[in-house]
Structures are given as C-alpha cells and as structure tokens.
C-alpha cells in the first residue's frame, strides 16, 4: 500500500475509533438522561463507526491471529505504562490539573494489569491453550480489571465491589 493511502487509512481508523467510543458514551448519557430512543440511535451509529474502523484496520493488515494480536495489544499497553502516561502525568502535575492527573493515574494503574493479562493470555495461546474460564470484572470508575471475583473495594479508587461490571 502506498504511503499516502496508508496514512489516510490510519487517520480514518483513529477518527472512526474515537467516534465509536464517543457515541457509545453518549448513548449511556442519553439513557441516564431519560432518552432511550436517542440512546438507541447513538448505539446504532456507534456500531456503524466500529464497522468502519474494523474495515480500515483490516485493510491496514492490523488484524492477525490471536497470538500476534496479543503481542500487539501487550505492546500497546506497555507503551502506555512506560512512556505515554508517565509523560502525560508529568505535564498534568506541572500544570496542576488535578482532574486530568486522577484520570491519567487511574488509566496507568489499569494498563499495568492489562499488560500482565495479555502476557499471560499470550503464553496460554502459544502453548495451544485458551485462558481458564472465569468472569472478568472491571471498575467503572478507574478501569481496574480482575479475572475472577471483584475485590471488596477497588484497590485503585475505592469503589465497592457491587459497582464492578462483569464480563
């Protein structure tokens, strides 16, 4: 693929990915605000944006077998842990942006766990196995993620177990 086309697809993938997430979040807000049909519209269009993002990623060769996808996912988490969030944290600290600092720290702590989980999953997949079946729980405030039972309180932000989302 030629450079300009590749760059355009990368930009389109980023834009469609952001639109997908933004509209999904807007759907949740519309539900909370009492507009279920607007929520449905946001959810449907969010899905359409995901379809666009997937098509672009596929054309870019960004979807591989599970073992390779796990390596790429772990690499992304490691980049966030080792480079991106520490740099963002330093700037937010310097500029005394308390809300941004909290958001960044929450993400950083969750990304450390995600990296480890992807590493463990990669080891299982390369051995020809799936990971053991278990519920996965995610804190809706900070993103803390745990396989198995949720803790009594989130170790990152102190949210009670009942608030965790089960997958």
Greatest CA separation for the chain: 52
Residue 136 parent element (H or E): strand 136-138
- Give yes or no: residues 136 and 92 share one domain: no
pLDDT digits (tens, 9 = 90+) for 86-141: 999 999 999 999 999 999 999 999 999 999 999 999 999 999 999 999 999 999 99
Q: CB under 8 Å to 146, separation ≥6 — which residues?
A: 113, 136, 137, 164
Q: What is the separation of C-alpha 50 from the centre of its chain, rounded to a whole number of angstroms?
A: 14
Looking at residue 60, its pLDDT comes to 98
Average per-residue pLDDT for the chain = 97
- Give yes or no: residues 73 and 118 share one domain: yes
Place of tokens 């946001």: 42
Domain termination site, one of 59, 79, 97? 59
- Give yes or no: residues 122 and 140 share one domain: no
Helix residue ranges per DSSP H, the chain:
3-32, 36-59, 66-79, 85-94, 98-126
Looking at residue 89, its pLDDT comes to 98
Nearest to 20 by CA among 63, 53, 58: 53
What CATH number has the domain bearing residue 156?
2.20.28.10
The whole-number average pLDDT for the span 74-82 is: 98
pTM above 0.85, yes or no: yes
- Give yes or no: residues 102 and 53 share one domain: no
Looking at residue 31, its pLDDT comes to 98
pLDDT digits (tens, 9 = 90+) for 16-68: 999 999 999 999 999 999 999 999 999 999 999 999 999 999 999 999 999 99
| Partners of 68 in beta bridges | none
Work out the angle between the directed axes of helices 66-79 and 98-126 (0-180°, nearest 10).
150
- Give yes or no: residues 124 and 137 share one domain: no
Q: Are 158 and 148 in contact (CB under 8 A)?
A: no
Domain termination site, one of 44, 59, 74? 59
- Give yes or no: residues 136 and 156 share one domain: yes
Task: Please work out, in degrees rounded to the nearest 5, the angle formed at the alpha carbon of residue 21 by the alpha carbons of 17 and 88.
Answer: 80
Place of tokens 């450390």: 112
Q: Distance (Å, rounded) from C-alpha 7 to C-alpha 47?
A: 23
Q: Nearest 5°: phi and psi at 147?
A: -90, 130
| Partners of 146 in beta bridges | 137
- Give yes or no: residues 137 and 125 share one domain: no
The total domain count for the chain is 3
Domain containing 49 equals: 3-59
The whole-number average pLDDT for the span 59-88 is: 98
């Amino acid at each position: 693929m030629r450079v300009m086309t590749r760059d355009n697809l990368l930009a389109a993938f980023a834009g469609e990915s952001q639109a997908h997430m933004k509209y999904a979040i807007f759907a949740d807000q519309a539900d909370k605000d009492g507009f279920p049909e607007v929520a449905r519209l946001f959810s449907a269009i969010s899905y359409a944006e995901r379809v666009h993002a997937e098509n672009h990623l596929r054309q870019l060769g960004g979807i591989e077998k599970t073992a390779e996808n796990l390596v790429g996912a772990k690499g992304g988490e490691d980049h966030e842990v080792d480079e991106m969030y520490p740099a963002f944290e330093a700037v937010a600290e310097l500029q005394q942006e308390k809300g941004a600092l909290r958001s960044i720290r929450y993400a950083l702590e969750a990304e450390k766990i995600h990296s480890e989980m992807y590493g463990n999953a990669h080891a299982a997949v390369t051995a020809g196995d799936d990971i053991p079946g278990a519920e996965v729980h995610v804190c809706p405030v900070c993103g803390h993620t745990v396989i198995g039972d949720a803790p009594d309180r989130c170790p990152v932000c102190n949210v009670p177990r009942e608030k965790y989302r089960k997958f």
